Amino acid sequence: MGVKISREKWGYIFVIPGVLWYGLFMLYPMYYAIILSAHRWMGVETNPLFVGLDNFKEIFTDSLFYKSTVNTFYFTFISVSLTTFTALFIAILLTKVIKLRAIYRTFYFLPSVAGVVAVGIIWTWCYQPTFGLFNRILQVLHLPPSRWIMDPRLALFCVAITQAWMRLGFNVIVFLAGLLTIPEQFYDAAKVDGASGFHQLIHITLPLARPIITFLLIYNTIYGLTVFGEVYMLTEGGPGSATYTVAYLMYETAFRYSRMGKGSAMALFLFVIILVITVIQMKFFERRTQIEY
């Protein structure tokens, strides 16, 4: 006499491992970070000291935190713009390519497969002012050399380019997948009506690609706001504090200075920022993404 389990219950049973995994490694750390943000804890004592809102007061009066926040927004703006719109442009071009599309797709996707550490090492060499690739190219073209990531004014922009390069392939693939689902008849009808390529782009492609643009904008924004690996590998926040981002400062505060509570307060701040921006983006695009073919 076996116990009969309904189909619905089986569903719940199969979901349990995922929920446990998510709860243990996502929700619990989030909950613990909220608790820690009200404590002073070096990561080694058994009893963290309750300090209320002191960690928040401290971060909001910290000039480096302010600078890191500004840097994070600047970085996100550059990285998201570069990634999203370059990827859209390439994807549109790729829709016109029929024969070697798979090869091009692989070609663009390759940087996304490489790890951030490998990418960081390669780009550090490319940017090196004395013997790096980019200055060698400028030298061949008889152009003045640049200090790239060694220049406080350029460094963050250089890091953003590196991230955009890494993320481009994934964005191209997603855009391409979306663009290829747009029915060909729309373009045929537009051509019959005498619409130019530019008009087809403005009136057909972009409106119908809006859901994918929304998705990628949100996705890339989150990725940009939480940037850490690229900064860690390329500049370690330098030169000076030129490339400090909130995530990098959070890491330094928690793990270099052993201020887990203050680091958690920063994490919470970043979480709220991401939440607000994501909600705004979703609301903004919500009305515009209802598409019916």
Q: Binding residues for another protein, per CB under 8 A?
A: 40, 42-44, 49, 51, 54, 58, 61-64, 128-131, 144-145, 147, 150, 152, 236, 238-241, 255-259
Separation of alpha carbons 87 and 76, rounded Å? 16
183 preceded by a cis bond (ω within 30 of 0)? no
Q: 82 or 246: whose CB is closer to another protein?
A: 246
Beta bridge partners of 40: 49
Q: 36 or 218: whose CB is closer to another protein?
A: 36
Q: Which residue has the tokens 């550090």?
A: 124
Q: What is the DSSP letter of 228?
A: -
In the structure encoding, which two tokens stand for residue 195, read together? 């619409």
Q: 37 or 83: whose CB is closer to another protein?
A: 37
Nearest distance from C-beta of residue 270 to another protein, angstroms: 18
Q: 105 or 259: whose CB is closer to another protein?
A: 259
For 18-38, b/e burial (b = at least 16 CB within 10 A) is eeeeeeeeeeeeeeebeebbb
Nearest distance from C-beta of residue 246 to another protein, angstroms: 17
In the structure encoding, which two tokens stand for residue 155, read together? 């460094």
Nearest distance from C-beta of residue 103 to another protein, angstroms: 37
Nearest distance from C-beta of residue 131 to another protein, angstroms: 8
Which residue, 262, 271, 209, is CA-closest to 36?
262
| CB-CB contact of 226 with 239 (8 Å) | no
Nearest distance from C-beta of residue 45 to another protein, angstroms: 8
Q: 67 or 210: whose CB is closer to another protein?
A: 67
Q: 84 or 135: whose CB is closer to another protein?
A: 135
SS3 195: coil
Nearest distance from C-beta of residue 109 to another protein, angstroms: 29
